Structure 1
Amino acid sequence: MGKTYGYIRVSSKDQNIARQLAALEQFHLKKRCIFVDKMSGKDFNRPSYLRLMKKIREGDLIIIKSIDRLGRNYDEIIEQWRYITKERKADIRVLDMPLLDTTLSKDILGTFIADLVLQVLSFCAHEERSNIKQRQKEGIAAARKRGVQFGRRPIVLPDEFSNIVQAFESKQISEEEAIHQLCMSRTSFYKYKKAFHQ
């Protein structure tokens, strides 16, 4: 009998994993057997996922809440599924989709149905990711039309900046005086002085 592992993924550090953890509770997994990534599902270059892949052996079982927790890239989900089930000879159980449970039916029909469902769901996950990106793009474009500015606001330099820089460069005032008069840090002073001359 192989080991059972849980895999959890959320897209960002501030998202909650409680719902996925609750779904795994029925399997009484030890904490060290649950692998959590808090990052995008665009690819599989995730620290906890990669650690899990090093651990799994033939006959082990990986449990995930839903297929999009595994990933959102259609081709890569299919490739990882093949890698886990065919190369590593481990099983996968997707709790939200009972047909995606390789422990249930190892015959040709069972494998065919699981592969078919996987292809459809992986495609849906991929499309959803594309739709999210499109919605973000449209949202940014609409916000820009309304005059919303993105990124840092440009620093507005004091009116006397050029006079103070000239006075400093001609040694009429010290560096300390120039910085004090402009109310900025030494780093900022030299940064904006450099930009001023370009």
Structure 2
Amino acid sequence: MTVKAYGRVSSEQQDWTRQLLKFKELGIEDKNIFMDKATGKNFDREQYQAMKGSLEVGDILYLDDLDRLGRDYDLIKEEWHEITKKIKADIVVLSNQEIFDSRKFKAMGGIGKLLEDQFLSMLAYVAEQERKKMLQRQKEGIAIAKTTGKYKGKPRKYTEKNDSLMHAVELYKQGNKTVKEIISITKISRSSFYEYLKENNIQRNV
């Protein structure tokens, strides 16, 4: 049995120190702490996938909060059930540990499974609604900034990273390499690559 932790912040500008300190206070080794700077709208995140792939039967996975796992109502439930039922690891959510500790639900038998599904549905729904509110506030803020002439769009940062992304997109358009090969060549994150393809509606040439 190995104790692991997963944390996430949504952007490069956000700080994950608070989450990291909580995990270290639990005595979790650095090699077993996985952290992403990525959106919570899906689970195509480099460190999340690495963490999930490393989980084994009996492992315990700590999360600071449920929304660090994700913010999509249905996907959160799918991932939770896959980890706890298929992989047979356990999840503990520190912010709601008295409720969200899959070990407790297992010990309760059939009624525990029912309660787990109900509580998970409720909090996953809240997480998704918070994400929708955040996106709406962001859109409203941009709209206001545009009307006042203050909106300048996203600043172009990390030139090296952007150049690597453009290289990856060009390889993708050529259609003769797999995504895995492209990621290996350009050293960009899979989540950033897919997010850029989706946002710009980029299709592979075939």
Map Cα deviations across residues 95-126 of structure 1 (whole Å, 9 max, x no partner). Answer: 11121101123112222222211111111111
- Unaligned 5+ segments in structure 1 are 153-198
> 2:146 is aligned with what amino acid?
R
Matched, 1:14 2:13: yes
> 2:30 is aligned with what amino acid?
K
User: Alpha carbons of 1:18 and 1:149: their partners in 2 closer, same or farther (altered >3 Å)?
Assistant: closer
1:47-86 alignment, distance < 5 Å: 47-86=46-85
> 2:141 is aligned with what amino acid?
G
Tell whether the 8 Å contact from 1:72 to 1:129 is kept in structure 2 after alignment.
Answer: yes
TM-score normalised according to structure 2 size? 0.69
Map Cα deviations across residues 114-141 of structure 1 (whole Å, 9 max, x no partner). Answer: 2211111111111111111111111111
Tell me what 2:35 maps to. Answer: 36
- Unaligned 5+ segments in structure 2 are 155-206
Using the alignment, how far apart are the partners of 2:132 and 2:29 within structure 1?
35
TM-score normalised according to structure 1 size? 0.72
Tell whether the 8 Å contact from 1:102 to 1:111 is kept in structure 2 after alignment.
Answer: no
Root-mean-square deviation (CA), in Å? 1.5
Task: State the aligned residue count.
Answer: 151
Tell whether the 8 Å contact from 2:142 to 2:151 is kept in structure 1 after alignment.
Answer: no
User: Alpha carbons of 1:25 and 1:151: their partners in 2 closer, same or farther (altered >3 Å)?
Assistant: closer
Using the alignment, how far apart are the partners of 1:149 and 1:34 within structure 2?
37
Using the alignment, how far apart are the partners of 2:43 and 2:115 within structure 1?
24
> 1:147 is aligned with what amino acid?
G
Using the alignment, how far apart are the partners of 1:135 and 1:105 within structure 2?
36
Tell whether the 8 Å contact from 1:63 to 1:94 is kept in structure 2 after alignment.
Answer: yes
